[in-house]
A and B are shown apart, each in its own frame.
Chain A
Amino acid sequence: MIAAFSGTWHRVRSGELGVLPVVGLLALVWLVFQAINPAFLSSDNLVNLTQQSAATGVIALGVVVLLHVGQLDLSIGAVSGLAAAITAVTSVQWGWSQGVSVLVALGVGLAVGLVYGMVHTRLGVPGFVFTLAGLLLVTGLQLRVLGPTGSINLPFETPLVYLSQRAFLAPAASWTLVALIAAGYVAARLVERSRRLRVDLPAESLGALAARCAVLVALLVGGVAYLGTNRGVGVAFAVFVALVAAVDFALRRTRWGRSVRAVGGDADAARKAGVPVRRVFVSAFVVSSTMAALGGVLATGRLAAANQGTGEVELVLTAIAAAVIGGTSLFGGRGSAWSALLGVLVVQSVSTGVLLAGGDYSMRLVVTGLVFTVAIWLDAVARRARRG
């Protein structure tokens, strides 16, 4: 989570707020709901919260990547529903091994993304327009795959259900992971620092580096220890966080990530600079659809069922809201993979918090909508500030 803080001060000064606002927002949401119902911050509730976040969070992560190139896919819910249906039908009714079913479902998501990318780059139509057509098409396919019953239950003992519901990292495994992440992070920082010093570039002071690493370690140790007083860190949530870290790394440290951000900032400038703009758009649509499919697979595992309601419209809106609340700009080119994690935690906290506070479904939608509105407002204000 700390990686998101790197360079934040810099971005704050240049009118870009980074992830700080959403960290503050999350703290505020937690304090308010804790004051209303002391069960909110119990380790039991937080474990549930993390486990519920995984599926929507993975879909939001795809939204973050696609928003980076300035596009929106409104059919991600339908694609996740189709992936869920394929997984359930092929593994339960056709007797495929679940691993193969999941791979096929992900492959279908990837194929949908390829088609979208092609449509966008050949016709130049904005994503939110043609993905509406895709939404209808894919929803139709989902219903056809599910068949007349419209709902398929996964046996409780299958690997997918086990992994997404009841599998938690053993304490030894959690702590080993924490140690490895912390050691890797510190080592990478030190190597970077010495390389910079060797060529006379300004480098972070050892004190600042130590402080940064201490915050990371404190968050990791605190989180794992607190969740550990209950069931621990769920495998589904761990997979989600690992994906976020991987996407963050790809966006910041690879040529692909640099191209994605450039295309989102100014696609014509990127083309003139020699960036393969079409390929970048296609790759972003593919990542988004594949993540949506993976989110659908995780949701199936968690519900132990795939039905006509899997991937309904609310899921799309929740995933997009999570990405934007997390601080990824709707205008393209700005954001962070970590906004998927932070944003989905805010959205899920509001959901469970409202219920724990005695509110109902309508209340939950209203509060989420208000938070989303504030996030859009902040995004627009930051954009205007940058334009000066």
Chain B
Amino acid sequence: MSAPVLSLRAVAKSYGAARALDGVDVELHRHEVLAVIGDSGAGKSTLVGVMSGNQRPDAGEIAVDDRPVTLASPAVARSHGIASVFQDLALAPNLDVVENLFLGAELTRGRLLDEVSMEKQAWELLGQLAVRVPSVRVPVGALSAAQRQGVAIARSLLGDPKVIVLDEPTASLGIRQTAEFLTLVERLRSRGLGVVVTSHSLVDVHAVADRIMVLRLGRVNGEFDASVATQEELLAAVTGVESPGNGAVRGGGAR
């Protein structure tokens, strides 16, 4: 297999006495969807924060295409080709769709904003992703949760990133919107991107991931090939119950 597009080695992060991440290794390749699952407090958000440049690790190395990098901020991570869709989506509610899509990376003509080009590209981008909005000039605060998320994902695709990090993307979506979202992730993979997804939902993760990494108490507690892993195995790794064959676990795993 080719070199990983993103790799983390022995990454650690503590908040005071609490160890959120403790020696975590991650490798992500192009054309791959990696799911990160785990219980609340397992370190998913911290791991995603480190990848997106939103949190600085205390220790460990991060490399993009085998080149060591320091992800000092989300803007720096973006410049290295890592784009993120945060759980809170990080959209300004008072700005319209076009303004949010190009926020921090506006197109200019001379020294002034080029609204015409931005609006044109916004329509094209939303069309490619099949994100439907009533108008690209409505404030984002007036959109539905699914539309807002579509806008956030579309924004992450601007500037041709190599990696997209999605933090709990299905948390605020209904059933049909979740299905549409999973299709969208497959489309990203077929474009050649590496995708990292965190989720609470084992079902959603199973539907879309190639590989599943389980975090427990800040450590990697197992990595699974999504095509063969069973719900029971995943659940056992998430909860830390040793034997996957344990009847109690199977009972819980059947939801």
**Residues B94 and A265 in contact, CB atoms below 8 Å apart:** yes
Interface string of B110-137 (1 = CB under 8 A from A): 0111001101100100000000000001
Cβ–Cβ < 8 Å partners of B89 in chain A: 269
Q: Is A258 part of the binding interface, using a Cβ–Cβ cutoff of 8 Å? A: yes
Determine if A266 and B103 form an interchain contact, defined as CB atoms under 8 angstroms apart: no
The distance in angstroms between the C-alpha atoms of A259 and B92, with both chains bound, is 10
A266-B91 contact in complex given A14-B138, A387-B141, C-beta closer than 8 Å: yes
Q: Are B120 and A199 in contact (CB under 8 A)?
A: yes
Q: Are A274 and B113 in contact (CB under 8 A)?
A: no
Count of residues in A whose CB is under 8 Å from the partner chain: 34
In the bound assembly, the distance between CA atoms of A200 and B100 in angstroms comes to 22
Mark out the residues of chain B between 71 and 124 whose CB falls within 8 Å of any chain A CB in the assembled complex.
Answer: 73-75, 78, 84, 86, 88-95, 99-100, 103-106, 108, 111-113, 116-117, 119-120, 123
Residue B45 CB within 8 A of the other chain: no
**Any chain A CB within 8 A of the CB of B142?**
yes
- Closest residue on chain A to residue B155 by CB atoms: A273
In the complex, B161 has a CB within 8 A of chain A? no
Q: How far is the CB of B214 from chain A (nearest CB, A)?
A: 27
Indicate whether B231 reaches chain A with its CB closer than 8 angstroms. Answer: no
Q: Which 8 A-B pairs have the closest CB atoms?
A: A274-B104, A274-B75, A265-B92, A265-B94, A272-B90, A333-B94, A269-B90, A273-B104
Nearest A-chain residue to B99, judged by Cβ: A258
A264 touches B94 (CB 8 A): yes
Contact of B92 among A195, A199, A269 (CB under 8 A): A269
Task: Say whether A270 contacts B120, CB under 8 Å.
Answer: no
Is B54 interfacial (CB-CB < 8 Å)? yes
Closest to B142 in A: A14
B21 to chain A, nearest CB (A): 20
List 16 additional contacts besides A258-B99, A386-B142; criterion CB under 8 Å: A7-B137, A201-B119, A201-B120, A255-B106, A259-B104, A265-B93, A266-B92, A269-B90, A269-B92, A272-B90, A273-B74, A273-B155, A274-B78, A333-B93, A333-B95, A388-B142
CA distance in complex: A386, B138 (Å): 12
Which A253-280 residues have a C-beta within 8 angstroms of B? 253-255, 258-259, 261-262, 264-266, 268-275
User: Per-position contact with A for B153-164: 1 when CB-CB < 8 Å, else 0?
Assistant: 001000000000
Contact, CB under 8 Å: B103 / A273: yes
Q: Is B139 an interface residue (CB 8 A)?
A: yes
CB-based nearest B residue for A200: B120
Chain A contacts to B: CB under 8 angstroms: 7, 10, 14-16, 192, 195-196, 199-201, 253-255, 258-259, 261-262, 264-266, 268-275, 333-334, 386-388
B78 / chain A contacts, CB cutoff of 8 Å: 274
Is the pair A272, B86 in contact by a Cβ cutoff of 8 Å? Answer: yes
Considering only CB atoms and an 8 Å cut-off, how many residues of chain B contact the other chain?
36
Inter-chain contact total with CB atoms closer than 8 Å? 95
Which residues of the other chain, B, contact A196 by a CB distance below 8 angstroms?
116, 119
Contact B141 A270 (CB under 8 A): no
Can you sample 15 A-B contacts with CB below 8 Å?
A: A14-B139, A196-B116, A200-B120, A201-B116, A201-B123, A258-B95, A258-B99, A262-B95, A264-B94, A266-B92, A269-B88, A271-B74, A272-B54, A273-B155, A274-B73
Complex: A70 Cα to B92 Cα, angstroms: 13
| Contact call A274/B92, Cβ cutoff below 8 A | no
| Contact partners of A201 in chain B: CB under 8 A | 116, 119-120, 123
B103 touches A270 (CB 8 A): yes
Interface of A is mostly: helix
Q: Can you name the residue of chain B whose Cβ is closest to the Cβ of A192? A: B116
Docked pose: A29 CA to B84 CA in angstroms: 51
Quote the shortest CB–CB distance from A373 to chain B (angstroms).
24
Cβ contacts under 8 Å, A273 to chain B: 74, 90, 92, 100, 103-104, 155
What's the least CB distance linking A44 to chain B, in Å?
Answer: 41
Using Cβ atoms and an 8 Å threshold, which residues of chain B touch A266? 90-93
| A268 shortest CB reach to chain B, Å | 7
Residues of B within 8 A of A334 (CB): 94
**Cα distance A10–B100 in the bound complex, in angstroms:** 17
What are the residues of chain B within 8 A of A271 when measuring CB–CB? 73-74
* Residues of chain A lying within 8 A (CB to CB) of residue B111: 254
Contacts of B155 in A (CB 8 A): 273
Task: Give the chain B neighbours of A195 by CB distance below 8 A.
Answer: 116
Residue of A whose beta carbon sits closest to that of B141: A386
Please name all residues of chain B whose beta carbon is closer than 8 Å to the beta carbon of A261 when the two chains form the complex.
92, 94-95, 99
Nearest Cβ distance between residue B166 and chain A, in whole angstroms? 14
B residues in contact with A16, CB < 8 Å:
139
Kindly list chain A residues whose C-beta atoms are within 8 Å of the C-beta of B88: 268-269
Chain B residues closer than 8 Å to A270, beta-carbon distance:
92, 103-104
Task: Provide the bound-state CA to CA distance between A10 and B98, in Å.
Answer: 15
A257 CB to nearest chain B CB (Å): 8
In the assembled complex, the Cα of A278 lies from the Cα of B73 at a distance in Å of 13
Contact yes or no, B137 A10, CB < 8 A: yes
- Chain A residue with the shortest CB-CB distance to B89: A269
Chain B residues within an 8 Å CB radius of A253: 112-113
Nearest CB of A to B215, in Å:
22
Measured in the bound complex, the distance between the Cα atoms of B19 and A309 in whole Å is 59
Q: Give CA–CA (A255, B114) in the complex, Å.
A: 10
Complex Cα distance A226/B86, Å?
56
Q: List chain B residues, Cβ under 8 A from A200.
A: 120
Measured CB to CB, the closest approach of chain A to B54, in angstroms, equals: 7
Q: A14-B139, A271-B74, A275-B104 are in contact. Are A258 and B113 (CB under 8 A)?
A: yes
CA distance A181 to B142 in the complex (A): 35
A334 CA to B119 CA in the complex, in Å?
A: 21
**A203: min CB distance to chain B, Å:** 10
Closest to B136 in A: A201
